[in-house]
Amino acid sequence: MHDFNKAAALIVTLGILGMCMPSHAGDIETGLDTDSKTNVYVRPGDGTTGYSVDGKTQLVFPGNGKQGFTPDGKLVTVTPGYEREEEPQTPPQSTQAAPSAQGIIAGGYELVYIPAGEFWMGSPDGEGESDERPRHKVYLDGYYIGKYEVTVAQYRKFCNATGRTMPGQPDLNGHDNPVVGVSWDDAKSYSEWAGMRLPTEAEWEKAARGGTDTKYWWGNSESHDYANYDGTGGLDRWSGMGPAGSFPSNGYGLYDTSGNVWEWCADWYGGGYYGSSPANNPAGPTHGSFRVLRGGSWYNAPSGVSSANRNRSDPGGRDPNDGFRCAK
Ligand SMILES: [Ca+2]
Ligand SMILES: [Ca+2]
C-alpha cells in the first residue's frame, strides 16, 4: 500500500478543475503536473484514480482527491485548468509500458523476451558513421537476450566450474560489475557453458533500441541520466565502469545496452554489410577478421554509446573495456 503520510507533503490541488469544463461522474478531466509540466488526467467523478497524459502511469488520489501520487511513489502536484487536446481513445493501462514482461533464467542469468517483428537498423543519412548506413528494415524471429551485461560473479562461476583462469579485473570492479578482459572466444564459451549463445548484431541492436528509432533509446539528446559514458553528471557517478543495472532500463527492460562496457556480438564485422545484408534474421558476413562490439563504454563520448554505433576487435583480444551479454 502507499505511504499516505509520506505522500501528504505532496499536495495535488484539484478543487477548481470543475470550473474549467463541464463535469459529471466518470468524465476524465485534466490538470497540469507542475513538477514535470505534463498533462495529467483525473477522474473528478470518484476522485480516486487518474492517468498521466501518456496513459502509462496510473495516479492514485486517496480519499478527498486533494493528494496524489503514482504507484511507484512519485508525487504529482496538479495545477487545475489545463485543457487537454483530446481524450484517450481507450482506457490506458499501466501494463502498456512493459512490452517484454516475459523472462527466463539460464545459468543463473536473467533473459528478457524480444518479440518477433521488424525494426529499423542503422543510422539515417547524415547521422552516424558510414558503416551504420544504409539504414534498413530488418525482421527478426523472437528471441531472448540478457537483461544485464554478464557480471564478474557470473563469469567467476564459469571459471570455477571449468578450471579456466579468471581474467584480471580493473581495481574496484566488484562482483556486480560487468566482467571485462574477456575475448570473443571467452564470451562464446561462457554463453555455451550456460546454455546460451552470443546475440547477432541485429539482435543486439533491436534489443538496445527498446522499440525506438532515435539516436539513443531515450531520445536524440545525450544524457548521463540514462547511461555511463565519459564523464559524470546526473545519475552517472562513475569515471570508470559501474555496477550492471545502475541506470533506468530501456523499453524492453534491458540495462546498460548504452555504455558501461562494450558488448561482443556473434557476427564477423563487415563495414559495408548493411548494403547487402538479408532482410530476415541477418547473421553477419560469412567470414572476416574482426568480431563486432556494440554499445560503447564508460570512456566513450556520447556518440559512441548510440544505438547504431558499431565497433570491432580481434576475437582473441582481451580488452579491459570489453564485456558481453548473452542471448538464447
Ligand atoms: Ca561515466
Ligand atoms: Ca554495455
**Which CATH number does the domain housing residue 244 bear?**
3.90.1580.10
Same domain, residue pair 122 and 219 = yes
Of the bound ligands, which one is closest to the alpha carbon of residue 305?
A: 2
Of the bound ligands, which one is closest to the alpha carbon of residue 259?
A: 2
CA of 44 to the centre of ligand 2 (A): 45
DSSP for 107-141 reads TTEEEEEE-SEEEEES--TTSS-GGG-S-EEEEE-
Q: Where are the alpha helices (DSSP H) in 201-323?
A: 201-209
Q: Give the range of the structural domain holding residue 211, as residue numbers without chain letter.
A: 104-323
CA-wise closest residue to 5 among 51, 49, 69: 69
What's the confidence (pLDDT) of residue 83?
34
Same domain, residue pair 164 and 269 = yes
Which residue, 94, 114, 137, sits at the end of a domain? Answer: 94
In a domain, 169, yes or no: yes
Same domain, residue pair 83 and 110 = no
What's the confidence (pLDDT) of residue 51?
52
In a domain, 99, yes or no: no
What's the confidence (pLDDT) of residue 14?
35
In a domain, 90, yes or no: yes
Burial code of 57-77, b = ≥16 C-beta within 10 A, e = fewer? Answer: bebbbbeebebbbbeeebbbb
CA of 168 to the centre of ligand 1 (A): 21
Which residue, 67, 94, 121, sits at the end of a domain? Answer: 94
Q: How far apart are CA 143 and CA 89, in angstroms?
A: 32
Same domain, residue pair 108 and 45 = no
Pairing of strands 38-42, 58-60: unpaired
In a domain, 27, yes or no: yes
Q: How many domains does the chain have?
A: 2
What phi and psi values does residue 34 have, to the nearest 5 degrees?
Answer: -70, -15
Same domain, residue pair 177 and 287 = yes
Q: How far apart are CA 325 and CA 241, in angstroms?
A: 15
What's the confidence (pLDDT) of residue 114?
96
In a domain, 197, yes or no: yes
| Three-class secondary structure of residue 266 per DSSP | strand
Of the bound ligands, which one is closest to the alpha carbon of residue 294?
A: 2
In a domain, 69, yes or no: yes
In a domain, 328, yes or no: no
Same domain, residue pair 154 and 240 = yes
CA of 150 to the centre of ligand 2 (A): 10
Per-residue pLDDT of the chain (328 residues; tens, 9 = 90+): 344 333 333 333 333 333 333 333 333 344 445 454 455 554 443 444 555 444 455 555 443 343 445 445 455 544 443 333 333 344 333 333 334 447 888 878 999 999 999 999 999 999 999 999 999 999 999 999 999 999 999 999 999 999 999 999 987 778 999 999 999 999 999 999 999 999 999 999 999 999 999 999 999 999 999 999 999 999 999 999 999 999 999 999 999 999 999 999 999 999 999 999 999 999 999 999 999 999 999 999 999 999 999 999 999 999 999 999 999 9
Which three cell numbers, joined as nine digits, stand for 120? Answer: 529499423
CA of 72 to the centre of ligand 2 (A): 26
What's the confidence (pLDDT) of residue 107?
77
What's the confidence (pLDDT) of residue 172?
73
Do residues 171 and 107 make contact, with C-beta atoms less than 8 angstroms apart?
no
Same domain, residue pair 2 and 150 = no
Same domain, residue pair 89 and 122 = no
Same domain, residue pair 123 and 258 = yes
